Structure 1
Amino acid sequence: MKQRTISSVIGLPILIGIMVSKNSILINVALLLIIIIGLSEFYKSFKDFSINYSLIGIGFSALYYIFVLPDISGKLGLFIVLFSIFLVFYSILFYSKQNVKNIAITFIGFFYVTFMFSFIRQIISINDYGDIFVWFVFIIAWSADTFAYAVGKTFGKNKLTPELSPNKSIEGFVGGVIGAALMSCLYGIIILKFTGFHDNNFLYFCLVMGVIGSVVSQCGDLIASLIKRFNGIKDFGNIIPGHGGILDRFDSIILVAPFVYYFIKVILNIHF
């Protein structure tokens, strides 16, 4: 717990500093670095996974982030086709009985880590308020995690998924939902008070986004647990003392980021 606290005290100001700097180069480099490290952790978690396929996945992830993401609507389909063709040709040229598994893990890693996490950058670029709305991702994910842990530790009696994650409780799950909803609404109040954004229904949308987002967040945490249990590991890495790897710290954000993006685009965009 001491290591977790120290890491949070050091890491959180760095994250805030990078995000509020509004320096697109700094933000893009930081996000790409997180994606590469997280993807590397994902690939390493699978035993006997080919290092060559790992490099292919990481290389195409970098290409996607740098060249495709800025114009994703026009390039995503072509990128997926080229990615697939390259993997097929490589697998044929360097045949192995493990190549089917290697291809599957390479693709899953790309979509699970790179594609899903890249929605943070897409939220930032939505409109003039993107750099403000992107904080909903972190607030919902981390408040759900914090409240779920605190409530579960204090009141937890009924196991949520005893075989998958024995420490999680139904009480903690509910606490995470309530906590994320409250923090989402609180941030909504701050936005209305201190920015130029105004919408009569905004707090209602914040409440809905917090409730659904917290469920998505906790499912993201459980999916990470599912992967770790399958691979027989406790953590994805040890780069963050007390937290484990990048994926251990950002596992819930991976699913919350695309949810917040589409919630903003489909629901809130009507009122912009």
Structure 2
Amino acid sequence: MKDQTFLVRFRSSIILMIVTVTAMILGGEVLFGLLLAISLIGMMELYRVLKMNKSILAFTGYIFCILFYMLVYFSKTELIFPLLIGFLLALMGVYVFSFPKFHSDQVTLVYFGLIYVGIMLSFIYRVRILENGILLVWMIFIGAWGSDTCAYLVGRKIGKHKMAPILSPKKSVEGLFGGIFGAALIGFLFATIFKGKLTAINNPQVSFEIIGGCSAMISTIGDLAASAIKRNHEVKDYGKLIPGHGGILDRFDSIIFTAPIVYYLLQVL
């Protein structure tokens, strides 16, 4: 049974990796369309926590997610704040005119969903369209998945002090530092290999070390935050879209947090 579970998980990981690599290399409309689809599915998974993924509130969230991505695609980012205000007004309109069908916590979750899933994931596309974006975008995954692998290996070998025993009993403080230093090292090596092609970054080796370490710290918060939401609502997985892994939010929980961090660190380094 364990072998079968491992094979399912491994197969899904390979497929996910192929899709990810292909989308990152192609970029453009392919990546944009994939991220929009992932964001909508992720929001649906989150809304399902309160059993409202098919409600009019949820569909309001889906519509504004599409509108948000259109602003990003056409580089109208100055309209994002007005969009968020409009989204809040639309949700409150649905809330008051259908009262008492929905509760205030449901309205809050729908609003939170657009920011937590849609807006945060869009930074993958925003990093990809930067100069040298075809290389820079991989720092998002190094900070999330790379650090997770390093944290697992270090934690398994020397982990003794529990970091968040209630949310994730297997995570250790030693694993956290292993993930941070591991992501920083991978970032340094990555920059060393592609140094000649990273023309838009000053001192890419140092910059990628910093980005790798910082995004690794933030990715841990993303992972634990997703677990906390599930624990609050007694949900094991957000979905079953990815066999062996769960839903979109189960696999992209740390990516959600590392994407904007990488984008903004690239602006200042």
Residue of structure 1 in register with 2:49 after alignment: 45
Matched, 1:17 2:27: no
> Does the 8 A contact of 1:34 with 1:246 survive in 2?
yes
> What's the offset of the Cα at 1:243?
1.0
Q: Secondary structure at the match of 1:241?
A: coil
Residue of structure 1 in register with 2:265 after alignment: 263
Aligned residues with identical type, % of pairs: 36
Structure 2: distance between partners of 1:213 and 1:254? 11
TM-score (norm 1): 0.91
Q: Equivalent of 2:95, from 91, 95, 102?
A: 91
**Aligned-partner residue type, residue 15 of structure 1:** T
Alpha-carbon displacement from aligned partner over 1:113-168 (angstroms, at most 9, x marks no partner): 01111111111223x21222111101211011111122222322221111121121
Residue pairs, 1:163-242, within 5 angstroms = 163-193=166-196, 195=197, 197=199, 201-242=203-244
> Does the 8 A contact of 1:68 with 1:75 survive in 2?
no
The structure-2 alpha-carbon separation of the partners of 1:97 and 1:18, relative to structure 1 and needing over 3 Å to count, comes to closer
What are the ranges of 5 or more consecutive residues in structure 2 without an aligned counterpart? 1-5
Aligned residues: 264
Structure 1: distance between partners of 2:162 and 2:111? 33
> Does the 8 A contact of 1:39 with 1:110 survive in 2?
yes
Structure 2: distance between partners of 1:39 and 1:200? 37
Structure 1: distance between partners of 2:54 and 2:31? 31
> What's the offset of the Cα at 1:262?
0.4
Alpha-carbon displacement from aligned partner over 1:226-245 (angstroms, at most 9, x marks no partner): 11111111111111111111
Q: Secondary structure at the match of 2:74?
A: helix
TM-score (norm 2): 0.92
Structure 2: distance between partners of 1:255 and 1:149? 19
> Does the 8 A contact of 1:217 with 1:253 survive in 2?
yes
> What's the offset of the Cα at 1:73?
3.1
Structure 2: distance between partners of 1:214 and 1:10? 24
**Aligned-partner residue type, residue 89 of structure 2:** I
> Does the 8 A contact of 2:45 with 2:53 survive in 1?
no
Structure 1: distance between partners of 2:76 and 2:210? 28
**Aligned-partner residue type, residue 161 of structure 1:** A
Structure 2: distance between partners of 1:82 and 1:199? 37
**Aligned-partner residue type, residue 86 of structure 1:** A
Structure 2: distance between partners of 1:72 and 1:188? 31
The structure-2 alpha-carbon separation of the partners of 1:199 and 1:11, relative to structure 1 and needing over 3 Å to count, comes to closer
> Does the 8 A contact of 1:140 with 1:214 survive in 2?
yes
Matched, 1:125 2:129: yes
